[in-house]
Structure 1
Amino acid sequence: MQILIDYTWDHHFGLDIGPYKPDFRSCSIPEDNLIIINTNWKNKEEVPFSFAHELGHFMNGDDGIRYYDSATINNKCERGANEFAVKFILNFCKRYGLTFSNPITFCEQFGVPTTLEDLVASYLN
């Protein structure tokens, strides 16, 4: 998580990170330059991915309030944020010499929703 926090601060984005109610979805609010991360999300293993996903909204220039939801893969903005998050995690893996050939294993290891298995597979190949 620290690499995500550092990346957020390096890009001068505001960050509110903490334990909210388990059903409170992490979100990005570009108009307020703020990313809110719920460390108590009901699917705790997804917290780092959701953080990278919310960063993706900022890096992709998305506007409006965007709430993390592991089921939103068809919306263009959400897909772009998912792509950013997967690439961010893959860059982390490359930096530390971690390799994966199986997208399911990658998803399980990094809390990536398995609904994104095809997306992960496209970047692993």
Structure 2
Amino acid sequence: MNDAIDYAINTVLDHGVGIEITHQRPSFQSCAVVQHNLVIINPNANDKANLPFVILHELGHIVLAHQDLGCVSPAARIKQEHEADRFAAELIWDYSQRLGVDYDNAYNFMQAFGIPSKMFGVVINLMKGIA
């Protein structure tokens, strides 16, 4: 799992984005500060298994130039979250393929990298080469 976390952190840095890891109360959620090109991660807000996905999700907001979620409509917020989720899932899929690890089903892949169940359809398409 530490290798996947290292991969996620290095991917953030490779995109020229800053990353701050802060150990706050669990209620302090990780976030992307798009206007400052910064990802803020609170490991206490997520299970360790979810950290690679969370880190890459927040990077997705920056790479995709999303607006501050407080300043967009609920429909735009949902769309941005889905885009960031997809971005993270695709990067993790690429990472797993470079490792040469084969997963016999989407559930095992998702569990291995802490990908939330709402991403099942996206992961199925990635595994089929449809994404």
Q: TM-score range with shorter-chain normalisation?
A: 0.7 to 0.9
Conservation of the 8 A alpha-carbon contact between 1:27 and 1:37 = yes
**Richer in helix (by share):** 2
Larger Rg: 2
Q: Which residue of the other structure, out of 63, 87, 90, is the alignment partner of 1:87?
A: 90
Give the superposition deviation at 1:85: 0.5
Give me the TM-score of the superposition, normalised by structure 2: 0.81
Give the superposition deviation at 1:24: 1.7
Task: Give the aligned partner of residue 50 of structure 1.
Answer: 54
The 1-side partners of 2:23 and 2:94 are apart by 27
- 4+ residue segments displaced more than 4 Å: none
Task: Give the aligned partner of residue 30 of structure 1.
Answer: 34
Give the superposition deviation at 1:43: 3.1
Structure 1, unpaired ranges of 5+: 67-73
2:10 is equivalent to residue 6 of structure 1: yes
Give the superposition deviation at 1:78: 0.8
Give me the TM-score of the superposition, normalised by structure 1: 0.84
2:44 is equivalent to residue 40 of structure 1: yes
Task: Give the aligned partner of residue 117 of structure 2.
Answer: 114
Conservation of the 8 A alpha-carbon contact between 2:12 and 2:56 = no
SS class of match (1:75): helix
SS class of match (1:36): strand
